[in-house]
Structure 1
Amino acid sequence: MLLIFISWIYIGFVTINLGCLFAKLVKLKTNNFSVIAILGLFTTTLIASFWAIFKNVGLEFHILLLLLTLASGYSLRKEIKAIYKEILSKINSLKLICKSLLFINIILIIAQCASSPYVIDNESYYIQSIKWLNECGFVKGLGNIHFFLAQSSGWHITQSAFSFSFLYSNFNDISGYCLLLGNLFCIFKLNEYFTDRKFNSLVIGMFPLANVFFFQFISAPSPDIPVYVFSFIIFSYFLTGKKETFTEDFKIIALLIIYLIFIKTTAVALLTVPLIMFFSNFKKTLPAISSLSIIGLITLSAFIVKNTIISGYPLFPVVNFAYNADWVIPESIAQMYYDETKVYGYLLKKSAYDSMSYKELILRWLTLPKLHGLFNLIGAILIFITPFGIYKFKNERKWWILYTLMVVQMVILFISSPQYRFFMNTLLLFSFFFAALIFTSSKLFLNKMLLKPILIFSMIATAYVLFIPIDLNKFAENKFALETSNFKLEEIVAPHSNSKLNTEFEKVTIGNLTFYSPIKNDFFWASGNGPIPCVNKAQIKYFERKTGYIPQQRSNKIKDGFFAKKVDNN
């Protein structure tokens, strides 16, 4: 815990300074601590993305980052001082319930980050994606080793920039820092509600109620966390913005969405919000277009270059367009990745998926076991009842736009991969919408007295899950994620290692490729915290049988990358 807290102080120092520099460059006027810190993360991610094309994200990168941080800190010292002054003033002015909620959640977030990682994707490709960035940067054809590595989310680039791998091996907690920023932002909104009793402030302010759900994602760099956090900040600026701040709100919303799409392409549906803002008030948004276009083009360039190097597909996971190079992932394997992702939301095999009608798929999706089916059903119910709730109680254009966003998002996900964690942002928003209707209704007895006890109960529930082991087999259909990650006393100073698996590795050679393979093969996709290159030998044999390809080195240096070699299936 202590080491994470110290690292976050430094990350806060870097992100606030660079966030102020970013805001200055795009002529954005805001003193919001969380927004500026996120823009600082965005700046760091873009710098690391272009750096990784040529070198590893290691000590030399951090020297550059620190020099840029110090230079921007000195030149923008007045603006930075104003941000710290405002955040301290806001914290001091918090009501007791909000202040308690903030400080207790900060402690719980750090404790959860110090515990062992829970997300199973951490073991299959998060750790390895970040390790490759820290040791080599972007590597040509890396997806040929393990096709999950072809994803290399922008969030993993962010984590690689703040892993400090040259100093210590166990920092893996950028998602926790992000959730802290989200809690900070939304608790201030909750405090506003207790002052002005505005409905929209309450909806956004209830975000910390979902910490019990978020906590299982933050001890690993899950890209889902920034989607949830940034979405609620976007919703807040959209719902609570004023006419006089319309242009600045539009800028903030657009910038956060650009960053989000770089992190997770399934967030593309959020573009609905700034597009409607742009066309509805062309005169106010036009002055912001030039700076936003430049940032968008820079980010798109980073996205295309990253994907082209790692997979050979500039728009990966879209596999219709390939770069003409020897390191391109074979189309059959790339298509297999796309197909597996698509059918996973239904927990089906590809053959079963292909044989089902749309009606059967929807029924299957709604009746999936445990949490999958529960959240899917809640999402479907919200799609159906929300128009009636908006029309009856909050018949405002902004709420209709956000409802449209939810529908668009669901349509896109049905086409790609309708996993509940991909639409949890709008599911939470409209769940809180109906909860806020209850808390603000004058007809319901004791409704105003229930909110504070519920906030307190949410902290107790979050703490319970943090400290008490829970058998998730009762709730989740994933045999590799049956026990929550719980805090242990030995993690007060130093966090748990980046991997939950105590895996030993053996050295294996196939052709000219020498790699490390887990000795125990309990999880087919697992590579854990093994030395690079690391992949399960059973996985390589499987793809050799299935597709007729094996990964090979392009030279005797792993930095030069990998290609897929066609072999005789017989």
Structure 2
Amino acid sequence: MYIFWICLGMGMLIQPFVQKNSNLFFVLLFGLFGEMMLIHFFAIWLPINEIFYGANFLFASFIILIRFQTIKTQLKSCFAEWESWKIPIQILGVLLTTLILMQSATKPFIVDNETYYIQTIKWLNEFGLVKGLANLHFFFGQMSGWHLLQSGFNFGFISNSLNDLNGFMMLIFTFFSLHHLNRFFQSRITMDLFLGLIPVGNLFFFQFLSAPSPDLPVFLISQLIFYLFYKNFIDYQGEFKLLLLLVIFLIFIKITVLPLLILPLVLLIRHQLFKIEWRFMMLIALMSISLYFLKNYIISGYLIYPISIFSSLLNPDWKLSPEMAKFMMQNMKVDSLTGLDFEEIQRQSFFEYFKNWLLEPGLRSVFNKLIILLLLIFPIWIRKNKTLFWLYIYALVQFGVLYFTSPQYRFFMPLITGMSLYILAKLLLNNSKFVLPIFGFFGLIALIPLLFSINVSNIKNSNFMPDKLEPYRLRNVIVPANISLHQFEYEKVREGNFEYNSPIGETEFFWITGDGELPCVNQSMLEYFKKWYHVRPQLRTGNLEDGFYAEKINK
């Protein structure tokens, strides 16, 4: 309810500048975007703690009070919309809501949550943006806008069990999808069915609900972006601002989706919108770029972490060492191929690399093959619908950027989801009697891992993660599971001028930090970089809030 309240207030503040007649779903998305911008700005100077929460609540409440009549009208419209749905769709809505709430209360099963999600959010709650934080653990430099947003909703000063942001995102998207699914049975429009089928991917999406993974909003919002582009390409319906805001929102969450800018640019040129929209474009571009660069500059000393573009222009004392930035770039490539180091990858020919990437073990292999198959067959539908041409061009550019930088299967999922849903929608368009059975089966199949312990040893992407998914437990109705999958014991270790907490016994997978008290980093990782790169983190002053710098040590 707190997330809904805050997003409602912030969304109502932003709505008149983007789309005056937008429904409640878009108001809440505007609220998430506005809240993320606010936290970016606030965290530059202050922690995201109880003072921020209190001020934020009062501000949102003030906006809600001012726009109460508009909100009242929108809520009535939502209830009227619900009552107009077909009974089976209403039942699906109740069942999916229950599953989302259950999954959100389970333990996270994402390795990145154990390496840096938990810790980056803790730093934000206790200190805000900390100079040179990437020197402590260079994964912390990957801090997503989604993590800043989560720091404003997790009540870290009260509990370490509240991870509801992804569940909230999934919930509002589910009802948005059901709205379009219901509308499809009246309109018989392909793109209504396209959006309506999003929950078909629940078995996959649900694995991202109980951790603040930035992947989930990218998976979901990208489908909305594809829909808006498709809808406005031939017959412009005044939604350029909405499309641009959502693209900027996703870039803030995950810089790997930068090629999405192709889509609003195509609309801008095709419909000659520059004279009309240039003020909005300049405002959102200036605000977004400034905050994004400033966030990266504070935590790493780089404007576009970890890329070295423009890095020679700025050399603060907390800047991540060039050796570590290079290692980070190499690590992104290494993560895509199991069992090979960077030098081995560099020695491979183009075709050797492609073959090894295609034949990766477990889920990686399945999704790597699937993205190639979809890119090969999708032109069949382009011949019949020229509107898809630019979406396909975007897909090729996005695939190329990812393939040559960090070709991890989850980065391809927005493309896989979009093309798969469109093909499925076309296949079901004239067979509507199968829509609800298929939706119900695939949408509700996510119940199985909630009820039974499922063995995932053959498909998990890290040996660090357990072999089985932990099912939902009744006690989670009252008390959600802890935000960390593992309950490590920690030891105090001194490194130069500061002490840190290191998980005991975790030496093989040394990126792990878990839910340790700040500052927390794995001793094995620090020792590795001291030995091979001759660098270690040190406090800039005697206080944690002043951050870290990289100290060169003797070989």
Residue-by-residue CA offset, 1:241-269 (whole Å, 9 max, x unaligned): 5977622x211111011011011001112
CA contact (8 A) 2:233 2:267 kept: no
Q: Post-superposition shift, 1:42?
A: 1.0
* Structure 1, 287-296 or 556-565: larger mean CA deviation: 287-296
CA contact (8 A) 2:96 2:444 kept: no
Which residue of the partner structure matches residue 5 of structure 1? none
Could you say what secondary structure the match of 1:534 adopts? Answer: coil
CA contact (8 A) 2:18 2:242 kept: no
1:543-562 to structure 2, matched below 5 A, reads: 543-562=529-548
1:402-417 to structure 2, matched below 5 A, reads: 402-417=391-406
Which residue of the partner structure matches residue 259 of structure 1? 249
1:145-294 to structure 2, matched below 5 A, reads: 145-241=136-232, 246-247=237-238, 249-283=239-273, 286-294=275-283
> Which amino acid in 2 is paired with 1:272?
I
Which residue of the partner structure matches residue 399 of structure 1? 388
CA contact (8 A) 2:500 2:518 kept: yes
Structure 2: segments with no counterpart, 5+ residues = none
Structure 1: segments with no counterpart, 5+ residues = 1-8, 442-446
CA contact (8 A) 1:201 1:240 kept: no
Which residue of the partner structure matches residue 48 of structure 2? 57
* C-alpha distance in 1 between matches for 2:148 and 2:413: 23
Q: Match for 1:357 among 335, 349, 352?
A: 349
Q: Post-superposition shift, 1:458?
A: 1.6
Does the alignment pair 1:468 with 2:452? yes
Residue-by-residue CA offset, 1:392-439 (whole Å, 9 max, x unaligned): xxx223212211111111011012111111121121111122222221
Judged with a 3 Å threshold, the aligned counterparts in structure 2 of structure 1 residues 543 and 11 are, in CA distance, closer, same or farther, namely same
> Which amino acid in 1 is paired with 2:414?
N
Q: Match for 1:533 among 507, 514, 519?
A: 519
> Which amino acid in 1 is paired with 2:379?
P
> Which amino acid in 2 is paired with 1:338?
M
Which residue of the partner structure matches residue 420 of structure 1? 409
Which residue of the partner structure matches residue 295 of structure 1? 284
Q: Match for 1:381 among 373, 377, 399?
A: 373
Q: Post-superposition shift, 1:13?
A: 1.4
* Structure 1, 482-491 or 40-49: larger mean CA deviation: 482-491
Does the alignment pair 1:330 with 2:321? yes
* C-alpha distance in 2 between matches for 1:563 and 1:173: 34
Which residue of the partner structure matches residue 361 of structure 2? 369
TM-score, normalised to structure 1, is: 0.94
* Structure 1, 332-341 or 475-484: larger mean CA deviation: 475-484
1:48-197 to structure 2, matched below 5 A, reads: 48-197=39-188
Judged with a 3 Å threshold, the aligned counterparts in structure 2 of structure 1 residues 240 and 95 are, in CA distance, closer, same or farther, namely farther
Could you say what secondary structure the match of 1:473 adopts? Answer: coil
> Which amino acid in 1 is paired with 2:88?
I
Q: Post-superposition shift, 1:319?
A: 2.4
Q: Post-superposition shift, 1:390?
A: 2.7
* C-alpha distance in 1 between matches for 2:264 and 2:233: 15
Residue-by-residue CA offset, 1:513-543 (whole Å, 9 max, x unaligned): 2000001215311110000000011110000
Q: Post-superposition shift, 1:140?
A: 0.7
- For the aligned residues, what is the CA RMSD? 1.6
> Which amino acid in 2 is paired with 1:164?
F
Q: Post-superposition shift, 1:20?
A: 1.2
Q: Post-superposition shift, 1:321?
A: 3.1
> Which amino acid in 1 is paired with 2:351?
K
CA contact (8 A) 1:57 1:136 kept: yes
* Structure 1, 516-525 or 120-129: larger mean CA deviation: 516-525
> Which amino acid in 1 is paired with 2:469?
T
> Which amino acid in 1 is paired with 2:364?
H
Equivalent residues, number: 550
CA contact (8 A) 2:229 2:264 kept: no
> Which amino acid in 2 is paired with 1:325?
P
* C-alpha distance in 2 between matches for 1:187 and 1:255: 23
CA contact (8 A) 2:111 2:462 kept: no
CA contact (8 A) 1:327 1:563 kept: yes
Does the alignment pair 1:484 with 2:475? no
Could you say what secondary structure the match of 1:559 adopts? Answer: helix
> Which amino acid in 2 is paired with 1:233?
L
* C-alpha distance in 1 between matches for 2:357 and 2:170: 29
